[in-house]
Amino acid sequence: MAETFVSDGCRAIGQQWNRVGYEFVPLVTAAFALRCSLDILLLRPEEDRFIFTSGDIDGQVKTLFDALRIPANLEEAGGIGPQDGESPFFCLLEDDRLISEVRVNADQLLLLPQQKKVKANDCFVVIHVRLNHTTPRTFDNYFG
């Protein structure tokens, strides 16, 4: 019975956030008075020949932010609608403006798990997310 409740609840949230054919369930939304801090470890190839093909770090971080939020149009979602098992579709952010703090550590990618060679577009990212309330938490926020 608990699984049905969670499923129905997620489905209802997904219908509220229906965009470009997907039923999104964002964790961080303005309606919940939430913001988030991101601590990002970005491992990428750093040999001279890779720098020109992989882009600069600010462009890579912006691409990562875009991937964590609800897409604005179908093109941002890869040009296709939801596939089997992608309804609801869980994502971190309603909008990337809800990121309040970012810390990025970039280092050299030596190898990916179960790979023998690093390619120019390979990357390994670890993200630690900390939720921040935008309003002070009081007894009334929880029970009022």
So what's the pLDDT on residue 52?
A: 44
Cβ-based neighbour number of residue 101 at 10 Å: 11
So what's the pLDDT on residue 141?
A: 52
Q: Which residue numbers in the chain have pLDDT < 50?
A: 1-5, 49-52, 144
So what's the pLDDT on residue 114?
A: 80
Two structure tokens written together for 107: 């280092």
Q: Specify whether the CB–CB gap between 43 and 130 falls below 8 A.
A: no
Name the 3-class secondary structure at 15: helix
Q: Specify whether the CB–CB gap between 32 and 118 falls below 8 A.
A: no
So what's the pLDDT on residue 98?
A: 94
Per-domain boundaries in the chain: 37-133
CB proximity list for 87: less than 8 A, separation 6 or greater: 14, 22, 23
So what's the pLDDT on residue 51?
A: 44
